[in-house]
Amino acid sequence: MWIINPDLLTARIREQEKISLSRANGVALDRIQAWLDASIDAYQTVGVETVLSTDKYRPLVERAKANGFELRPLYVTLHTADLNVARVKLRVAQGGHDVDEEKIRVRRERSFQQLPWFLDQADVARVYDNSGATLKLLARKSEGVIELDPTAPEEIRAAIRSLEG
């Protein structure tokens, strides 16, 4: 399966096409959408890395499921927003792109708001915490049942509780 990483694609476009970061981001988003649409049309499995802070992938998921695809998301979070901020600072120190701290925190909250819809659509799902040296499984969905680690962050527990009622 091909996994699309928007950050890597943006960097490659910027390098190869000699355009600004802003323009490269836009070009990458357009190409990713085209590739995802083409993959569904060709019945080809594909994955995309996303912060999941908007509903932009909902129509794609609906179209894919209507065409017989299974949705198998892997949702990876960190235990706190402060860890998200620290990870971005580390990425910047290693030559990666920066994101404003407030934007990181807002995207995190919006991502948790999107999670219930995507879990509901999922055939199989896994939710992980990547705060430590190894991934920790927080929740899994299989055969319509979600199992939740009671030590999962409150945002994850709340997202899953919202599916119950």
Q: How many CB atoms lie within 10 A of CB 144?
A: 8
pLDDT value, residue 142? 97
Distances (CA, A) of 63 to 18, 26, 30, 39, 102: 35, 23, 18, 11, 33
Compute and round to an integer the Cα radius of gyration of the chain.
Answer: 17
Tens digit of each residue's pLDDT (9 = 90 or more) over 33-48: 999 999 999 999 999 9
> pLDDT confidence of 22, banded at 50, 70, 90?
confident
- Please tell me the distance from the alpha carbon of residue 61 to that of residue 121, in angstroms, as a whole number: 8
pLDDT value, residue 98? 83
Q: How many CB atoms lie within 10 A of CB 11?
A: 17
For residues 80, 81, 84, 90, the Cα torsion angle rounded to the nearest 10 degrees is -100
In degrees, rounded to 5, the angle at the alpha carbon of residue 28 between the alpha carbons of residues 26 and 32 is: 120
Domain ranges of the chain: 1-49, 71-164
Q: What's the predicted TM-score (pTM) here?
A: 0.90
Tens digit of each residue's pLDDT (9 = 90 or more) over 93-115: 877 778 999 999 999 999 999 99
- Please tell me the distance from the alpha carbon of residue 43 to that of residue 88, in angstroms, as a whole number: 35
Q: Which residue reads 């190409």 in tokens?
A: 31
Q: Which sign, positive or negative, has the C-alpha torsion 39, 44, 48, 54?
A: positive
Tokens of 127: 């939710």
